[in-house]
Amino acid sequence: MKKKRALLVILCTLMAFGILCAGIICHYLFSPIVKTKQTTYIYITPQDTQEGVVQKIKEQGKATSLHGFEWMASYYHYQKSIKAGRYAIHPGENSFQLFRRLSRGQQTPVNLVIPSVRTLDKLGQSISRQLMLDSIDIVSPLQDSVFCSRLGYTPQTIACLFIPNTYQVYWNVSPESFFQRMQKEHKKFWNEKRLKEAEEIGFTPTEIVTIASIVEEETANNQEKPIIAGLYINRLHRGMLLQADPTVRFAMQNFALKRILHVHLTVDSPYNTYKYAGLPPGPIRIPSINGIESVLHYSRHNYLYMCAKEDFSGTHCFTSSLAQHQLNAQRYQRELNRRRIR
């Protein structure tokens, strides 16, 4: 009888101990550990250690205890299979939920903004601030003629690949996957409708983007963009020099030039449209979608000349008369002199 009682006591003790252990495990695995009120994110790199990941969770999630996470990490050898990426930490999340997502590599995509910028260096810098990629991972291939050729471009026209917009991608996307995604988005943009519109006005998508890049360097005024596009197309149709000041700035790689002087117009570059007829070899910036659309749907008119207004409003005087253009230019030059703009 005494043996039975002793056995019963032992069993009850073991059960109580088991329940206690189960309770502790459940507490550490399933109790909320994240104290933030808003979703935050951690960025895990290939160089991160298990301890480093835990530290990032503590800092971003304000976690009070990560014993459950660390238990699971040790049991499943997380150190050997850490997956880089951008991961969300949600309010009220527990160790089990968080570890499962991180160990499975279930990332939260980044809203990648491809900007409308003047140079590929600026593009690379912008992308490197948003993704795990280094700017050289972007810029270097774009300067490689063999790589550009595989995509159907040259280093002079490769800027046409990029359509400024916001795209969801993974933070740790590889350079190869990034360029594949840009190709996919380019083809999506240049759909059957836009390709037909380009054909109807007699230009290739690359030529349209090149014209759009000049237009957008001329003005930030969306209402004027189709007018300026029409003006340059009129010049192209007549075989006239484009004589676009922004192409001279690009040729000199001096975008701070406020006043184009005669000495600047003599620069020997295929981008100098005062010296060489037709379009330059490629875009002088990555134009926006609005800029591209302004060329596809350019204004039909007889304008051949434009000059910035002397009120410095950012708008222009348009005319089909050279004599009137020269008067407009004289007014603008006088104002430049008055303001001592050199």
C-beta separation of 270 from 281 below 8 A: yes
Q: Compute the average pLDDT of residues 220-241.
A: 97
In the chain, where are the structural domains located? 29-104, 110-189, 192-301
pLDDT at 16 over 50: no
Say which range, 7-11, 32-36, 62-66, 233-237, has the weakest mean pLDDT: 7-11
Threshold 0.75, pTM exceeds: yes
The per-residue pLDDT for 206 is: 98
Q: pLDDT digit string (tens) for 166-184?
A: 999 999 999 999 999 999 9
Q: pLDDT digit string (tens) for 60-104?
A: 888 777 888 889 899 899 999 999 999 999 988 888 889 999 999
Q: pLDDT digit string (tens) for 255-265?
A: 888 888 889 99
Q: Under 8 Å CB-to-CB from 129, ≥6 apart: which residues?
A: none
Confidence of residue 5 (pLDDT cuts 50, 70, 90): low
The per-residue pLDDT for 21 is: 43
The CATH number given to 29-104 is: 3.30.1490.480
Confidence of residue 111 (pLDDT cuts 50, 70, 90): very high
Say which range, 36-45, 113-122, 179-188, 209-218, has the weakest mean pLDDT: 36-45
Q: pLDDT digit string (tens) for 127-140?
A: 999 999 999 999 99
Q: Compute the average pLDDT of residues 24-40.
A: 66
The per-residue pLDDT for 67 is: 84
The per-residue pLDDT for 31 is: 63
Q: pLDDT digit string (tens) for 295-304?
A: 999 999 999 9
The per-residue pLDDT for 2 is: 56
pLDDT at 332 over 70: yes
pLDDT at 245 over 90: yes
pLDDT at 187 over 90: yes
pLDDT at 54 over 80: yes
Query: What's the chain's average pLDDT?
Result: 90
